């Protein structure tokens, strides 16, 4: 995602500019970057991750600043280049580094509405309340220079969850983020800024955790952010050991799940029935939730209580779109569950043989599922299809080389 705004940081052109009346402070004293460092900065502007990785391995410094006070790390933040950002963080990026406006990487990302980058920087420990030389925090910039669009709503929620103060006055004009949002007609942003946790949620982490779980179940992302701000542990669990992310996934609360994922919630945390946020997507069939969870790198080999992985219940239940998407991941299509069945076998044995399951069988075999992998009794997918009179499925399997 890229958002073009009048900004207090540099735009995609490496020449600093700002529509604000304040004049940027002169670049801070920095050693002259080496040739490798300059090449890395150039690669960062192009989001050439492969070249950046090569240059870092050769000795380029991710914190080296050019004469406009740009580094590979700061560029990744302002431009929303998440993979590049992760590369710089893995190679010693200084989260305290500042640009020519005395702003942090977090301020740069918040101004542009790069929510995923904001979440990653929060996890990395960038100061939430830092004030730049325009008198603004990251939260001020997300509102004052933002557009109130969903990306900015997500950004504001992330900052609130991390402890940003919506009532903190700007240094120069005294405007608070909440006042600024109302003045600009940013209704959704105002709602996020104005949401308070239940009064008892501020009394203890346990009470805040209960508020978090309730909000996640209901799909109220503003209240989730407020509960986290009140001290709720992100991995709080209910009596069935379900986390907020698992509850969000189970109830298909995508906005909540996105917020939790960007703050580092664990997609592999399992409840007392061995379900995880990722595993239940195979039951619900939600492609939107699948896409939301993938950036969290869920364990695709994690097993449910039946020994299955997500593609198996999805195939059984006829979730065509989900199966079509999940086969594009690295999930093992020939995984065998405790019943001795693969996704292909479940689609036939527990399916209805109608159009959805016909499509799923075709998708699975096209994606590399073994059409001859038999069940625990030695019965093949083709034999199961023939015995049930599923002629279309049987023909698909024969074309795939089944016997």
Mean of the per-residue pLDDT values of the chain: 92
Q: How much is the pLDDT for 31?
A: 59
- Residue-wise pLDDT tens digits, 324-366: 999 999 999 999 999 999 999 999 999 999 999 999 999 999 9
| Cβ neighbours of residue 372 closer than 8 Å, sequence gap 6 or more | 380, 381, 382, 401, 402, 403
* Cα(327)–Cα(260) distance, integer angstroms: 25
Q: Contact at 8 Å (CB) between 397 and 365?
A: yes
Q: Contact at 8 Å (CB) between 331 and 311?
A: yes
* Cα(322)–Cα(99) distance, integer angstroms: 43
CA distances from 277 to 111, 254, 267, 286, 308 (A): 31, 11, 5, 11, 14
- Residue-wise pLDDT tens digits, 204-231: 999 999 999 999 999 999 999 999 999 9
| Cβ neighbours of residue 316 closer than 8 Å, sequence gap 6 or more | 343, 346, 347, 350, 351
The C-alpha R_g of the chain, in whole angstroms, comes to 25
CA distances from 324 to 315, 318, 363 (A): 10, 11, 6
Please state the pTM of the whole predicted model: 0.90
Q: How much is the pLDDT for 192?
A: 98
All domains of the chain in start order, with CATH = 35-194 (1.25.40.20), 255-399 (1.25.40.20)
Question: 243 in helix, strand or coil?
Answer: strand
DSSP string, 285-308: --HHHHHHHGGG---TT---TTS-
Report the length, in residues, of the chain. 403
Nearest-CA neighbor of 143 among 177, 95, 96? 177
* Cα(257)–Cα(26) distance, integer angstroms: 41
């Amino acid at each position: 995602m890229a958002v073009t705004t009048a900004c207090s940081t540099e735009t995609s052109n490496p020449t600093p500019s700002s529509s604000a009346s304040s004049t940027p402070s002169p670049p801070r004293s920095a050693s002259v970057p080496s040739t490798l460092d300059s090449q890395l900065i150039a690669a960062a502007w192009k989001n050439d991750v492969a070249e950046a990785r090569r240059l870092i391995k050769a000795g380029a410094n991710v914190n080296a600043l050019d004469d406009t006070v740009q580094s590979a790390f700061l560029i990744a933040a302002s431009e929303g280049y998440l993979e590049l950002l992760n590369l710089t963080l893995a190679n010693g990026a200084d989260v305290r580094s500042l640009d020519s406006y005395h702003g942090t990487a977090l301020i740069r990302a918040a101004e542009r509405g790069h929510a995923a980058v904001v979440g990653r920087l929060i996890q990395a420990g960038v100061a939430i309340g830092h004030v730049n030389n325009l008198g603004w925090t990251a939260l001020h910039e997300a509102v004052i220079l933002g557009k109130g669009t969903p990306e900015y709503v997500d950004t504001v929620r992330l900052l609130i969850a991390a402890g940003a103060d919506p009532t903190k006055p700007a240094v120069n004009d005294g405007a608070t983020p909440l006042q600024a949002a109302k003045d600009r007609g940013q209704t959704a942003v105002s709602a996020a800024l104005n949401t308070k946790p239940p009064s008892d949620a501020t009394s203890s982490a346990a009470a805040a955790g209960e508020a978090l779980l309730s909000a996640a179940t209901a799909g109220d992302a503003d209240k989730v952010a407020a509960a986290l701000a009140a001290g709720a542990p992100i991995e709080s669990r209910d009596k069935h050991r379900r986390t907020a992310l698992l509850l969000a996934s189970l109830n298909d609360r995508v906005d909540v799940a996105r917020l939790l994922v960007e703050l580092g919630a664990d997609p592999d945390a399992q409840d007392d029935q061995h379900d995880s946020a990722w595993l239940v997507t195979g039951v619900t069939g939600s492609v939107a939730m699948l896409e939301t969870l993938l950036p969290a790198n869920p364990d695709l080999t994690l097993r449910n209580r039946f020994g299955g992985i997500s593609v198996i219940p999805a195939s059984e239940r006829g979730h065509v779109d989900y199966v079509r998407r999940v086969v594009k991941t690295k999930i093992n299509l020939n995984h065998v569950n405790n019943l001795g069945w693969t996704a292909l076998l479940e689609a036939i044995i527990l399916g209805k043989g109608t159009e959805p399951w016909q499509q799923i069988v075709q998708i699975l075999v096209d994606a590399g599922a073994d059409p001859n992998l038999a069940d625990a009794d030695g019965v093949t997918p083709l034999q199961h299809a023939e015995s049930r009179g599923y002629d279309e499925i049987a023909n698909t399997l024969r074309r795939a080389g089944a016997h």
